[in-house]
């Protein structure tokens, strides 16, 4: 039996529904299902994303579309960029026909990207492909954070927040805050205090096998935990968020595995937005 495909797009992005119709017409004879809300916009019957029985999910939008999709469904991702940068996408809208032909022919490789699993006290948060951020909920109000690596206190810091990033996230929010860029083949985690009071505070890079915990002391006010810029939870004073490597990596359909070429292209594009 052949591969089973799913299709989802961001309707708020210009051209996304047009690209979706193009993809669907090219794959109509294949086993393809459309996410329920997207299907309604296309005049078709769809299925809820969580219930979709698929091997590959075709996403049309930007990186945010991919991140939101992975929070709900674990499947191989084939990203079509209809957004601004699309670090995680594989092809542009002008390449849809050629890209779908290669996909259906099996002419691709699978790239695995590590993710982070986290528990906020007894609450399981979605796995993060980019980063988990703990930050103050008040503008210009620092908090004290205690950062533990493998249950050992590594750092006490006053800052606006703390970013715990994967290699994938090192080219996202963490990069804006001063993180080194990590090759996605490197299995490591970046711990990056956000706007620390002491200028001597620098990022940590620790093995992916490490456990990272951030404690917000009882004397502090509440903070917010944000996963991949998508999911937000309140973190009360005196609580701990525990972060480890997820048991499930994200998987991407790739035609080109040249990370550095893509990175250069996207960074150049980012300078002209």
Q: Are residues 139 and 105 in the same domain?
A: no
Q: Are residues 225 and 166 in the same domain?
A: yes
Residue 272 has pLDDT above 60, yes or no: no
Q: Give me the residue label for tokens 């990590």.
A: 182
Q: Are residues 209 and 237 in the same domain?
A: yes
Q: Are residues 185 and 132 in the same domain?
A: yes
pLDDT score of 90: 96
Q: Are residues 174 and 87 in the same domain?
A: no
Point out the residues that are catalytic.
Answer: 63
Residue 9 has pLDDT above 60, yes or no: yes
Q: Are residues 95 and 205 in the same domain?
A: no
Q: Confidence band (pLDDT; 50, 70, 90) for 30?
A: confident
Q: Confidence band (pLDDT; 50, 70, 90) for 273?
A: low
Q: Are residues 236 and 265 in the same domain?
A: no
pLDDT score of 2: 78
pLDDT tens readout for residues 138-183: 777 899 999 999 999 999 999 999 999 999 999 999 999 999 999 9
Give the residue among 111, 110, 107 at the shortest CA–CA distance from 99: 107
Q: Are residues 84 and 180 in the same domain?
A: no
Strand partners, 144: 158
Q: Return the percentage of the chain with pLDDT > 70, whole number.
A: 97
Q: Are residues 67 and 167 in the same domain?
A: no
* pTM of the predicted structure, to 2 decimals: 0.93
Q: Are residues 104 and 203 in the same domain?
A: no
Distance CA 250, CA 86 (A): 16
Q: Are residues 222 and 257 in the same domain?
A: no
CATH of the domain at 78: 3.40.50.10330
Q: Return the percentage of the chain with pLDDT > 90, whole number.
A: 83
Q: Confidence band (pLDDT; 50, 70, 90) for 1?
A: low
pLDDT tens readout for residues 218-233: 988 899 999 999 999 9
pLDDT tens readout for residues 242-261: 999 999 999 999 998 888 98
pLDDT tens readout for residues 171-187: 999 999 999 999 999 99
Q: Are residues 229 and 129 in the same domain?
A: yes
Number of domains within the chain: 2
- How many other CB atoms are there within 10 angstroms of residue 208's CB atom? 15
CATH of the domain at 154: 2.60.200.30
Domain range spanning residue 137? 116-245
The mean pLDDT value of the chain amounts to 93
């Amino acid at each position: 039996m052949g591969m089973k495909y799913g299709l989802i797009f961001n309707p708020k992005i210009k051209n996304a529904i047009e690209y979706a119709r193009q993809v669907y017409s090219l794959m109509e004879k294949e086993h393809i299902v459309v996410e329920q809300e997207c299907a309604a916009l296309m005049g078709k019957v769809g299925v809820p994303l969580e219930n979709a029985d698929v091997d590959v999910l075709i996403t049309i939008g930007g990186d945010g579309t991919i991140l939101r999709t992975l929070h709900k469904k674990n499947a191989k991702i084939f990203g079509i960029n209809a957004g601004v940068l699309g670090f995680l996408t594989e092809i542009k809208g002008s390449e849809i026909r050629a890209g779908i032909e290669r996909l259906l022919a099996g002419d691709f490789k699978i790239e695995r990207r590590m993710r982070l699993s986290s528990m906020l006290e007894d609450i399981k948060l979605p796995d993060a492909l980019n980063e988990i951020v703990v930050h103050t909920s008040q503008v210009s109000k620092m908090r004290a954070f205690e950062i533990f690596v493998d249950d050992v206190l590594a750092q006490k810091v006053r800052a606006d927040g703390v970013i715990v990033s994967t290699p994938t996230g090192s080219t996202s929010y963490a990069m804006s805050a001063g993180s080194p860029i990590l090759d996605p083949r490197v299995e490591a985690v970046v711990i990056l205090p956000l706007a620390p009071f002491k200028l001597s505070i620098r990022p940590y890079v620790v093995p992916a096998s490490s456990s990272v915990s951030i404690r917000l002391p009882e004397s502090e006010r509440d903070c917010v935990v944000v996963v991949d810029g998508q999911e937000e939870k309140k973190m009360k004073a005196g609580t701990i968020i525990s972060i480890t490597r997820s048991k499930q990596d994200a998987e991407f359909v790739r035609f080109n595995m040249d990370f550095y070429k893509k990175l250069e292209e996207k960074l150049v594009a980012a300078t002209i937005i």
